[in-house]
């Protein structure tokens, strides 16, 4: 489940960047979604799950930049029929996605690759639950007793309080 949330976050950020840049060139929504899905899955598996834990953040950012640039460029060359400069569009897409990847790597390190108590769902911890506090009353009065017994208890409590003064 934690990988699902990470993939969803990564896909959303990649799709937003690709829609922002590639829609300028009148590329279809289906093509942009396909490029987003392929880029997300490949970059997550290679960059975030393989390179990031083994080589560190800087190597993962450089690897993600190269991987994203290459994937977007190749996929645009294969599937985009609109005349455009795919090299420069891929470069801008890779730069923008790499800027987002810096923050995504922090998320992956803190929530996906670690075994701490924090959850993989943003803003929710594993220990959040509906709990109730119970406390012992200072002077409980049993409602089932008759009123005369209740009055005796109250009088005893009052006399005890006055004795303390």
- Residue-level pLDDT at 90: 93
Q: Are 74 and 35 in contact (CB under 8 A)?
A: no
Mean pLDDT of 120-134: 55
- Residue-level pLDDT at 72: 93
- Residue-level pLDDT at 79: 87
Q: How far apart are CA 76 and CA 21, in angstroms?
A: 12
Query: What integer best gives the mean pLDDT of the chain?
Result: 81
Mapping DSSP onto H, E and C, the string for 95-134 reads: HHHHHHHHHHHHHHHHHHCCCCCECCCCCCECCCCCCCCC
- Residue-level pLDDT at 12: 95
pLDDT band at 112 (very low <50, low <70, confident <90, very high): confident
Mean pLDDT of 3-32: 92
Q: Are 10 and 100 in contact (CB under 8 A)?
A: no
- Residue-level pLDDT at 101: 92
Hey, which of 32-36, 78-82, 116-120, 146-150 has the most confident mean pLDDT?
A: 32-36
- Residue-level pLDDT at 113: 80
Using a cut of 0.75, tell me whether the model's pTM lies above it.
Answer: no
Q: Provide, for the chain, the percentages of residues in helix, strand and coil under a 3-state DSSP scheme, each rounded to the nearest 5.
A: 70, 0, 25
∠ at Cα 115 (1, 39), nearest 5°? 45
Q: Pull the structure tokens for residue 67.
A: 């991987």
- Residue-level pLDDT at 21: 92
- Residue-level pLDDT at 123: 53
Mean pLDDT of 65-74: 94
pLDDT band at 126 (very low <50, low <70, confident <90, very high): low
């Amino acid at each position: 489940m934690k990988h699902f949330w990470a993939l969803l976050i990564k896909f959303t950020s990649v799709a937003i960047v690709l829609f922002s840049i590639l829609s300028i060139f009148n590329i279809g929504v289906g093509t942009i979604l396909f490029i987003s899905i392929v880029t997300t899955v490949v970059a997550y598996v290679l960059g975030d799950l393989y390179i990031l834990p083994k080589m560190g953040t800087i190597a993962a950012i450089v690897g993600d930049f190269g991987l994203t640039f290459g994937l977007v460029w190749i996929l645009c060359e294969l599937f985009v029929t609109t005349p455009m400069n795919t090299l420069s569009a891929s470069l801008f897409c890779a730069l923008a996605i790499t800027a987002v990847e810096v923050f995504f790597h922090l998320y992956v390190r803190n929530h996906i690759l670690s075994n701490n108590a924090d959850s993989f769902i943003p803003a929710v911890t594993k220990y959040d639950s509906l709990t109730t506090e119970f406390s012992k009353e200072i002077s409980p009065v049993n409602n089932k007793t008759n009123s005369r017994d209740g009055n005796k208890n109250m009088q005893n409590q009052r006399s005890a309080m006055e004795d303390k003064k």
